[in-house]
Structure 1
């Protein structure tokens, strides 16, 4: 079976097509296609409360291209989810309706809790009986999740993200809420391990020169990367660090949000498993088609 996930974020839109294999009693996923297109819907929405006509046209063309790929790959089932930019846009529902009518492509505008739940679905193999704080910083929102003894005990979505705070100071009200959430749930814990997901923490991991994905990233390394990023112009980040243009600006506010959450929890090391919303969506599709009893399998 082939499955596809479309993640419509605030800074970019992603498509992944995956093949489900069953071999010697185990299910695994094999990535067939992954595309990331830098369409920054959040810039429109967080400034003007709606998606511009220009980006609306580009978005519909992108959905047409993704639909063609889905059809060419012979995908059996797909899920398309839109997050904070689309859900806060005054014309978001209208655009989703137009895409459905014109292309037959169904898009769900999901709330922060659903977004967090889907992201967490992909983390199963990375959660053991220790205490974890999972942090996912997106373009428009930040999701925090607390795990204890293998179970998620609390989850909250905060209205702060890398695109939303671009060219402005991080909002103190949102930072207080983040610190308060962490204090309430983790202040009595002796040791907390961080788990970071999202494109920016993955890029920070690469910039820290960690070659082995399973390695834990020390918080001091994140501070060093932030210092390097802040010492360079946007043009230097693009050309010397080989960052994409749409990554070169948002990575700094995103890094600051990660550090604020990590410091509040007194975390010294963080896992960066290179998973996110699209991976949770694919697992959700798998459960829908195969049944929840079959979901304990290695994901790749």
Structure 2
């Protein structure tokens, strides 16, 4: 019997909400049919109190409703809804989950930081042809680090530091003052230096995920005149190229950053806060090669789902 199904993964992130739809054949073969994204910026204005704000919640609810209009017409659809750092950290998490269930009919699974890092690893391991590397996922309200040796995860951690909260806390959205940048650098260095196993990853190549990483890749691909700026899997930069791009962004105010080819307007105000954790980790482990992957949490969830439900896979 052919039990082909459509698997819908709705990912409520800190900076954007995303939906991916996959068709799974009865032998476990999987193909992506559609993806959608909304820059809902759920973590905007959470502050030290870690309260999801009404405007950000409503933006996210509207994005989820627009996703539902797409997948609700599909036959044999299984919907998995996850939320990451913004909802994970929120004091009003339960109220948000209740509102999503009431307004959209979705049951939200809030991933722990360790689960998010683990799914990042699962999503990357079969896409990257390397044995030893470190995965770094830069989100809106957290970063995940996974040390991989011999293709196996050895250490993983999630830190509540991301593109949106770093940008807001240290005023990196527009023109950057030296004192603010210094304080941001010091804060990140202190937090990342505390990761106990990081020295084991000295000189590891970095496999980077997340919106800030994609923007970094697209800016460089545009500069290098690549015709396709979206197929990023396996694309790589060296340390000098990453630092050069960061310096270019740092020299410009928000208005001028929006004119850089490859950088989405919606990300221009948080790109410095998004790339600063990467710069800090590169410096901490002296990574010479930065590799981009299309894999991540959603791909990790798919891999787990297929392994669990399709025995022949």
* TM-score category of the 2 structures, normalised to the smaller one: 0.7 to 0.9
1:277 deviates by 2.0
Structure 1: which 4+ aligned runs deviate by more than 6 Å?
none
Confirm or deny that 1:243 pairs with 2:263. yes
Spell out, residue by residue over 1:246-295, the C-alpha distance to the aligned partner (whole angstroms, 9 max, x if none). 2101111211211111221111002101222222223233233314x62x
Which runs of 5 or more residues in structure 2 are unaligned? Answer: 171-182
1:48 deviates by 4.7
Of stretches 139-148 and 12-21 in structure 1, the one that deviates more from structure 2 is 12-21
Q: Give yes or no for contact 2:28–2:306 (8 Å, CA) kept in 1.
A: no
Confirm or deny that 1:109 pairs with 2:110. yes
1:208 to 220, 224, 227: 220
Q: Which residue of 1 aligns with 2:208?
A: 196
Return the alpha-carbon distance in structure 2 between the equivalents of residues 91 and 180 of structure 1: 29
Q: Which residue of 2 aligns with 1:35?
A: 36
Which runs of 5 or more residues in structure 1 are unaligned? Answer: 295-300
Q: Aligned Cα RMSD in Å?
A: 2.4
Q: Which residue of 2 aligns with 1:298?
A: none
Q: Give yes or no for contact 1:16–1:34 (8 Å, CA) kept in 2.
A: yes
Confirm or deny that 1:271 pairs with 2:271. no
Q: Give yes or no for contact 1:78–1:285 (8 Å, CA) kept in 2.
A: no
1:14 to 11, 18, 22: 18
Return the alpha-carbon distance in structure 1 between the equivalents of residues 198 and 241 of structure 2: 27
Q: Which residue of 1 aligns with 2:148?
A: 147
Q: Which residue of 1 aligns with 2:176?
A: none
Q: Give yes or no for contact 1:219–1:269 (8 Å, CA) kept in 2.
A: yes
Length-normalised TM-score, structure 1: 0.86
Confirm or deny that 1:253 pairs with 2:282. no
Question: Structure 1 residues 126 and 58 mapped into 2: Cα distance closer, same or farther (>3 Å)?
Answer: closer
1:141 deviates by 0.7
Confirm or deny that 1:179 pairs with 2:193. yes
